[in-house]
């Protein structure tokens, strides 16, 4: 398998023949020569990736997210929608506000995020 070239701008893994990053369009021409050296420096052990991801996941858990699935380098988290009593009462006391709030609440979705530890030790939110 060919070595991968990681974008210095967004961390996206690109094939070595790409001249620009597939994700953000960053020029990779100068990195193509250095790709082998860069990828060896950026390799992570599973334990190292897991530790980095643990710290990042903890931040989201504090904000109300729940972990749905987890590997050493990736995590799927979901933040359930919440019912806001404050907004309910504010809108309830308007003539048709309660109807708008019910429609808003029913249309609201759970927030789901995916986190991935990149070989350059950065977290990528997908």
pLDDT at residue 61, rounded to an integer: 93
Q: For residue 74, is pLDDT > 80?
A: yes
Which residue's structure tokens are 């609440």? 105
Q: Are 117 and 51 in contact (CB under 8 A)?
A: no
Q: For residue 125, is pLDDT > 80?
A: yes
Percent of the chain with pLDDT over 90: 11
26 contacts: CB under 8 Å, gap ≥ 6: 7, 8, 9, 10, 20
The C-alpha atoms of residue 124 and residue 126 are separated, in whole angstroms, by 6
Q: List, in sequence order, the alpha helices (H) in the chain.
A: 29-32, 35-42, 46-62, 85-92, 97-107
Residue 114 Cα distances to 48, 58, 68, 95, 125, angstroms? 18, 14, 10, 40, 6
Of 44, 72, 42, the C-alpha closest to 57 is: 72
Between 98 and 76, residue with greater pLDDT: 76
Domain boundaries, the chain: 1-43, 44-126
Q: Which tens digit of pLDDT belongs to each residue from 26-71?
A: 887 765 555 454 445 557 788 888 899 999 999 999 999 999 888 8
pLDDT at residue 39, rounded to an integer: 47
State the pTM of this model: 0.45
Q: Write down the mean pLDDT value for the chain.
A: 79
Between 105 and 30, residue with greater pLDDT: 105
pLDDT at residue 13, rounded to an integer: 82
The C-alpha atoms of residue 62 and residue 59 are separated, in whole angstroms, by 5
């Amino acid at each position: 398998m060919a070595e991968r070239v990681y974008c210095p701008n967004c961390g996206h893994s690109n094939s070595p023949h790409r001249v620009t990053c597939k994700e953000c369009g960053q020029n990779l021409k100068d990195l193509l020569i250095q790709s082998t050296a860069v990828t060896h420096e950026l390799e992570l052990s599973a334990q190292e990736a897991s530790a980095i991801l643990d710290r990042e996941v903890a931040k989201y858990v504090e904000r109300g997210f729940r972990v749905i699935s987890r590997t050493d380098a990736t995590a799927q988290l979901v933040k359930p929608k919440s019912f806001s009593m404050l907004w309910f009462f504010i809108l309830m006391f308007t003539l048709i506000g309660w109807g708008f709030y019910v429609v808003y609440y029913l249309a609201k979705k759970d927030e789901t995020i995916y986190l991935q530890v990149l070989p350059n030790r950065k977290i990528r939110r997908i």
